Amino acid sequence: MKLRTLTLGLLSASTLAFAAHAESITIATVNNGDMVRMQKLTDDFTAKNPDIQLQWVTLEENVLRERVTTDIATKGGQYDVMTIGTYEVPIWAKQNWLLPLDKLGDDYDVKDIIPAIANGLSVDGKLYAAPFYGESSFVMYRKDLMEKAGLTMPDAPTWDFIKQAAEKMTDRANGVNGVCLRGKAGWGENMAFLTAMSNSFGARWFDENWKPQFDQPEWKNTLQFYVDLMKANGPEGASSNGFNENLALFQQGKCGMWIDATVAASFVSDPKNSTVADKVGYALAPDNGLGKRGNWLWAWSLAIPAGTQKADAAQKFVSWATSKDYLELVASKEGWANVPPGTRSSLYANPEYQKAAPFAKMTLDSINAADPTHPTVKPVPYVGVQFVAIPEFQGLGTTVGQLFSAALAGQTSVDDALKQAQDAATATMTEGGYIQ
Amino acid sequence: MARAVSTQHKTIATAAAWIVALLIFFPILYTIITSFKSEQEAIQGFNLFPSGTTESYIAVEAQNGYFKFFLNSVFLSVGSTILALLVAIPAAWSMAFSPGKWTKDILMWMLSTKMMPAVAVLFPIYLIFRDTGLLDSRIGLMIMLMLINLPIVVWMLYTYFREIPGEILEAARMDGASLWKEIVYVLAPMAVPGIASTMLLNIILAWNEAFWTIRLTTTEAAPLTAFISSFSSPQGLFWAKLSAASTLAIAPILIMGWFSQKQLVRGLTFGAVK
């Protein structure tokens, strides 16, 4: 009798415990303004889905990439939703590491996702990650300095114009550099900028047969132009400047022009942090008259690893965070200027958003000007505008980035850097079995 | 005359020591100063006098909640240290008082494990943790921290025990003390300063360990190293917030180190571990 009572008690207790236990999903993310804002707004999600609890893991971008790769490759199952970029999505989807997003709900409106972004996140027509915010790159410039130089920035400048403007704006005695560009070595740092720039010069990483192309004149033109431009008009120590370093310089009024991520617009135009907030103008990334512009395409996106046990709850969350309703939620709480940009066409048609974000049209035009499947003038065998979506690219891109950074610092010549880049790329591609 | 020279030497030496100490401490000091600046002040070049705002601390606490990470740090550093001492005291005792033919080699081999880059064993360790269900668990991480610091703990205790004359232990044995009594009543009291400094150093090492503590945790077991890491941003300048997070993370261990510096210096300057 006693035993039976005890068993019954235990059984009912465990049933109760099970019923009361809400499903908890773990989301891995990076620390940027839009993601932090989302964490603050999750009450809306939990109110709509009381049976799902959210756990957040915020990590530095490189650590996140390493953690998430380790976990997904070993099927560790630590994360149910992960924040990844356009570089990872095609590679991981092909490895069957990600679940296709096919249960986002009836009112999700997948077609509203900006086509350039959706293409970058799809493999064989299936969406494998939902964009949380998208970005391209463009020119940010100081309207006052441009006027002082007696020039007018066109909406779609050429590289020659950028050079001319940089020369006129540079005033080193007063701490003004004509142009600030990335120089810090890394596949996501200087190589993101230089690869996008090289597209507008007609260069490509590989030809149709995966043969590296650093020995071609297009790359020589790109790198020589970049090094000359920066030596004459760039800030001191530019070879160690990345996004954040250039952002600090621009906000302090030390750059005439800065070509970088469109997301920077919301920082440089914020009067709380920027001393030049009311003097910033925007233009498309430069070109060379070859039909391609030097701007990139990136989207921080939410994806679901194949190892998760909670796929349904995870899809519900992804759907909520990347929906039209979420954009409206942010607008109602924090204003339209703080809505995550670059994901939905409907946002750019919204007059309230256009009013709150003066850089909106230029951002959309920049995103639309990038084509991940035809990034440069000549045909290529890879996907990606400022990267090559193959697993080898992280390592190779960083090696080449170090060589080009050394050329900018004057430690090697442009020719030597290109020759070494060609050798490194040939070795990597031979080892990977792409070429004989 | 000789006296004058030595005073002069002493002054120079003291001044040099102060300069070196300031140089070493300056990055920490500047982190603390920056944490009391606004984000705009933080990026506006070198400035030793902050406006004294605490907005970064408030923002950091609101964003991520310090206390849970702090408790994990305390649990992991103290727990792993106690675990390490339980293993290392008997090991060091046997090596110091009844060394065998291979003792020196074993000691060197143990130290050599510290020479391997941690990332080289990331995958095997990750797989073991996955299969044993230890990912993101405090117990698993405590064992891991114990293992990686064990060589240093054994070395420190070994060098310390070696300074205790073996005759005293022999005398205890002649008086009929058992092995257990010999360790607890004779060796331990004499070795308390050595054990204390080893313990302090190990707590500091475990507190600051930032490779495994970030890679083997997600939410439950994440300590302050993961807390700091979550404030580093690739796009956006959050230097004041990052400084506030760092200050909060190092403050407890800095204060503990300050109060116990006598033991620490002693622990760091004897024997082979310098």
- How does pLDDT run across A102-157, given as a tens digit for each residue? 989 888 999 999 998 998 899 998 999 999 999 999 999 999 999 999 999 999 99
Q: Does A7 score more than 60 pLDDT?
A: no
**Which of B121, B235, B239, B242 best tests the A interface by mutation, with the highest count of A CBs <10 A?**
B235
Asked if A245 is an interface residue toward chain B (Cβ–Cβ < 8 A), one would say no
Q: Which residue of A has its CA nearest to B220?
A: A55
Q: Does A223 score more than 60 pLDDT?
A: yes
Torsion angle, CA of B1/B5/B7/B12, rounded to 10 degrees?
160
| CA-closest candidate to residue A67, choices B226, B270, B77 | B226
Q: Which residue of B has its CA nearest to A80?
A: B218
CB pairs under 8 A between A and B: 91
Single-letter code of the amino acid located at B198: T
- ipTM value > 0.90: no
Asked if A253 is an interface residue toward chain B (Cβ–Cβ < 8 A), one would say no
**Which of B51, B63, B233 best tests the A interface by mutation, with the highest count of A CBs <10 A?**
B233
The C-alpha R_g of chain B, in whole angstroms, comes to 23
pLDDT score recorded for residue A3: 53
Asked if A162 contacts A286 with a C-beta cutoff of 8 angstroms, the reply is yes
Helices A393-409, A217-233: inter-axial angle, 10-degree rounding: 50
Q: Which residue of B has its CA nearest to A243?
A: B235
Structure tokens at A120: 């970058």
CB contact under 8 A, B230 and A36: no
Single-letter code of the amino acid located at A121: L
CB contact under 8 A, A57 and B44: no
Q: Is the dihedral of CA B167, B168, B172, B173 positive or negative?
A: negative
Structure tokens at B151: 């060589």
d(CA A151, CA A135): 28
Residues of B with CB under 8 A from a CB of A: 39-40, 43-45, 63-64, 122-123, 126-127, 130, 135-136, 214-215, 218-219, 222, 226, 229-238
- Within 8 A of B118 by CB-CB distance, chain A residues are none
Q: How many residues does chain B have?
A: 274
Helices B122-131, A61-73: inter-axial angle, 10-degree rounding: 60
State the distance between the two ends of chain A, measured CA to CA, in whole angstroms: 78
| CA-closest candidate to residue A224, choices A408, A421, A403, A422 | A408
Q: Does A19 score more than 50 pLDDT?
A: no
pTM for the predicted model, two decimal places: 0.83
Higher pLDDT, A10 or B248: B248
Asked if A247 is an interface residue toward chain B (Cβ–Cβ < 8 A), one would say yes
Q: Which residues pair with A139 in a beta bridge?
A: A259, A283
Q: Which residue of A has its CA nearest to B41?
A: A273
- Within 8 A of A272 by CB-CB distance, chain B residues are 39-40
pLDDT score recorded for residue A372: 87
To the nearest whole number, what is the mean pLDDT of chain A? Answer: 91
Q: How far does Cα B136 stand from its chain's mean position? A: 21
Asked if A297 contacts A370 with a C-beta cutoff of 8 angstroms, the reply is yes
Q: Which residue of A has its CA nearest to B127?
A: A74
Burial of B261 (0-12, 13-18, 19+ CB in 10 A): exposed
The conformation of residue A21, written as its DSSP 8-state character, comes to -
Torsion angle, CA of A370/A376/A382/A384, rounded to 10 degrees?
-30
Asked if B134 contacts B140 with a C-beta cutoff of 8 angstroms, the reply is yes
Alpha-carbon gap: B230 to the closest alpha carbon of chain A (Å): 4
Per-residue confidence band for A329, with pLDDT thresholds at 50, 70 and 90 = very high
Q: pLDDT tens digits for A365-414?
A: 889 888 888 999 999 999 899 999 999 998 999 999 999 999 999 999 99
Q: Which residue of A has its CA nearest to B119?
A: A66
Q: Which residue of B has its CA nearest to A70?
A: B123
Give strand ranges (E) for A87-201: 122-123, 126-127, 130-142, 177-180
How confident is chain B (274 residues) per 10-residue block, as mean pLDDT? Answer: 70 94 94 91 83 90 88 96 94 89 92 89 93 94 95 92 85 87 83 88 93 92 91 79 93 89 71 43
Task: Give the one of B123, B226, B235 whose C-beta lies nearest to A263's C-beta.
Answer: B235
- Within 8 A of A255 by CB-CB distance, chain B residues are none
Asked if A39 is an interface residue toward chain B (Cβ–Cβ < 8 A), one would say yes
| CA-closest candidate to residue A28, choices A62, A57, A52 | A57
To the nearest whole number, what is the mean pLDDT of chain B? Answer: 88
Give strand ranges (E) for A230-377: 255-261, 280-284, 297-303
Helices A217-233, A414-431: inter-axial angle, 10-degree rounding: 130
pLDDT score recorded for residue A15: 45
Q: Does A1 score more than 60 pLDDT?
A: no
- Superfamily, domain B63-269: MetI-like (1.10.3720.10)
Structure tokens at B131: 């299969």
What percent of chain A has a predicted confidence (pLDDT) above 70?
A: 95
**Which of A26, A29, A59 best tests the B interface by mutation, with the highest count of B CBs <10 A?**
A59
Higher pLDDT, B40 or A240: A240
| CA-closest candidate to residue A97, choices A125, A143, A128 | A128
User: What structural domains does chain A harbor?
Assistant: 2-134+297-356 (3.40.190.10), 135-296+378-431 (3.40.190.10)
pLDDT score recorded for residue A8: 52
Q: How many CA atoms lie within 13 A of A209 on its CB side?
A: 3
Give the start-to-end residue ranges of the domains of chain B.
Answer: 63-269
pLDDT score recorded for residue A4: 58
Count of CB atoms situated within 10 Å of the CB of B226: 25
Asked if A152 is an interface residue toward chain B (Cβ–Cβ < 8 A), one would say no
d(CA B47, CA B247): 18
Task: Give the one of A26, A31, A76 whose C-beta lies nearest to B230's C-beta.
Answer: A31
Give strand ranges (E) for A149-296: 177-180, 255-261, 280-284
pLDDT score recorded for residue B270: 59
Asked if A279 contacts B270 with a C-beta cutoff of 8 angstroms, the reply is no
